[in-house]
Amino acid sequence: MENTIKTDATSIKNTSLSDFSAVDTKIQEIKISTTSWIIAGCTIVSAIFIYILLSQSNATNTTTSTDVSTAVSTGGYGIYFLIGSVIIIIIYLLYKYKINLWTDADEDVRSVEKEFKQIINPIENVLREKQVFHIPSNTYNYTDAKAVCTAYGSELASYNEISDAFGKGADWCSYGWSEGQMAFFPTQEEKWNDLQKVKGHEHDCGRPGINGGYIANPNVRFGANCFGYKPAITLEDSANMSNRPLYPKTSEEIKFDSKVSYYKNKLKDILVAPFNNASWSEGV
């Protein structure tokens, strides 16, 4: 089945956009149709209400002054009766034919959106390419890493797959369990050269190339290197990329950053002295 889909990938690329547009149009038509029925119903009831008011107004104009209050009173009760009757008839028809404008419309939309996902998901997998992606944090043993990758619809990446990713620029300074009870991480030479200029961090990310090898103890905690369809980036992922350091921080740096964060929350309680007895800041 997958081979058939891949064989037709070119034709899918050419037709998928129009197919998606047709499905999206169908969803919009359902929503518009439902809204139209609701508006039409309200319009009919309003028209009846206005017609009755105008008719009653004309009727009262032909009466004598002594009969005006009686006509208005009687006409008012008649209006309420007719409006109530119309509402009851509408409710009866909706009940008889089991029509729920809101629920049925939502179900129709959900049904079409489900069909849309059934169309788009396999096509997305064809248009995307499988790749190696890394799940950081040293929290998984070898079995857990397998399970995490499987949860993403992927599998543990092989050495060859990681090597291919390295050739395309892959770089993360974090061990990940890989196929065959191996643990690897790739380091690009450019990054390695930058680290040689930072005292104390020269060896943080190993050497240029693919670092790691076989790990005899499957219970050691690493991240995971998966091979499959990488999830789409989220806003949180984007923010993490922007704040991601070039190299792992030392324990001393982590402690210092913790102190900085602590004092940032205390700034309003810290006294700052004036520049001198006459001015707050220099030159002021």
If you average pLDDT over residues 83-110, what whole number do you get? 64
Average pLDDT of every residue of the chain: 76
Hey, where are the domains in the chain?
2-125, 129-248
Class assignment of domain 129-248?
alpha beta
pLDDT above 90: residue 182: yes
Q: Is the pTM of this model over 0.85?
A: no
pLDDT above 60: residue 116: no
Which DSSP string do the residues of the chain spell out, in sequence order? -HHHHHHTHHHHHHHHHHHHHHHHHHHHHHHHHHHHHHHHHHHHHHHHHHHHHHHHHHHHHTS-GGGHHHHHHHHHHHHHHHHHHHHHHHHHHHHHTT--HHHHHHHHHHHHHHHHHHHHHHHHHHHS--EEEEEEEEEE-HHHHHHHHHHTT-EEPPHHHHHHHHHTT---SS-EEETTTEEEEEE-HHHHHHHTTSTT-TTTT-SSEEEEEE-S-TTS-EEEEEEE-PPPP-HHHHHHHHH--SSPPPHHHHHHHHHHHHHHTTGGGS----SSSS-SSTT-
Least confident of 52-56, 121-125, 150-154, 230-234: 121-125
Q: What is the pLDDT of residue 252?
A: 81
Confidence of residue 257 (pLDDT cuts 50, 70, 90): confident
Confidence of residue 18 (pLDDT cuts 50, 70, 90): very low
Confidence of residue 118 (pLDDT cuts 50, 70, 90): low
Confidence of residue 160 (pLDDT cuts 50, 70, 90): very high
Model pLDDT for residues 27-36, shown as the tens digit of each residue: 555 555 555 5
Task: Report the share of the chain in percent with pLDDT over 90.
Answer: 35
pLDDT above 80: residue 198: yes
Confidence of residue 98 (pLDDT cuts 50, 70, 90): low
If you average pLDDT over residues 208-229, what whole number do you get? 97
If you average pLDDT over residues 238-245, what whole number do you get? 78
The more confident residue out of 127 and 81 is 81
Top-ranked range on mean pLDDT: pick from 9-23, 45-59, 249-263: 249-263
Q: What is the pLDDT of residue 75?
A: 53
Model pLDDT for residues 60-73, shown as the tens digit of each residue: 555 444 454 554 45
